[in-house]
Amino acid sequence: MPQSSNIKVLRDEGVPQSSVFTLLSRYADVAFINQSVFAEYIKFVKEIGIKPFKPASVEALVIVTKLSKSTWELKLDIFERFGWPRDVALLAFNKVPNIMALSEKKITNSMKFYIEEVGLQLEDIVGRPNILRYSLKKRIVPRCSVVKILKLKGFIKDDVSIPRLITTSEKIFMENYVIKFQESVPQLQKLYVGELGLYLKFWRRQFPGAL
């Protein structure tokens, strides 16, 4: 039976039971693929540095089964054009496998914005590659716009971590960077909520009376 054979391969490689269960419950189509093909995917994932015992191993396995070789190479080429050697791109994939599931347009636009508009260094993005997954329109641009204004007015330091601010929860970002300064910089609400239209219902539910 393909399933039991493939599961045995995973267990022999040291993949924990919790990850095996994730594969079976969420990605049954991958668990049931041909055994020899499955073994080749496992081999490839190991060769690019994914450790079988890490939680990301199953996610990485699923991603590589969904991408053609040409698509995989194309996305590596995109990162390379922005200055990431392939080993660095694979390191980022090792941390957050889903970045390779992003569209070519999404990867390009996010990398370009972070580097050219925000001024992030490549190592900043490699450190937290999950920042590539967020929406430019709904999260990245609004938050960076708020931070830019607060920096210009001297309310926050220039060395504030943009990747950390991008990944922090909406509630915490609201409290620490918008509501906190709403009297000193009242235009922040208009910028973040009005002009960029970011989740008005969420704001009003979480912070009644704040808007």
In a domain, 211, yes or no: no
Q: Say yes or no: 113 and 76 in one domain.
A: yes
Range of the structural domain that residue 15 is part of: 2-66
- What DSSP assignment string belongs to the chain? -HHHHHHHHHHHTT--HHHHHHHHHH-HHHHTS-HHHHHHHHHHHHHTT--TTSTHHHHHHHHHHHS-HHHHHHHHHHHHHTT--HHHHHHHHHH-GGGGGS-HHHHHHHHHIIIIII---HHHHHHSGGGGGS-IIIIIHHHHHHHHHHHHTTSS-TT--HHHHHHS-HHHHIIIIIGGGTTT-THHHIIIIIIT---HHHHHHHSTT--
pLDDT (tens place) for every residue of the chain, 211 residues total:
444 788 888 888 888 888 899 999 999 899 889 999 999 999 999 999 888 778 788 999 999 999 999 999 999 999 999 999 999 999 999 999 999 999 999 999 999 999 999 999 999 999 999 999 999 988 998 899 899 999 999 999 888 999 999 999 999 999 999 989 988 988 887 778 764 554 444 444 554 544 4
- Letter string b/e over residues 170-194, b meaning 16 or more CB atoms within 10 A of that residue's CB: eeebbeebbbebeeebeebbebbbe
Question: Which of 66, 86, 108 is the C-terminal boundary of a domain?
Answer: 66
In angstroms, the CA 57 to CA 50 distance is 6
Q: Say yes or no: 159 and 187 in one domain.
A: yes
Q: Say yes or no: 39 and 75 in one domain.
A: no
Tally the domains of the chain.
3
Instruction: State the pTM of this model.
Output: 0.82
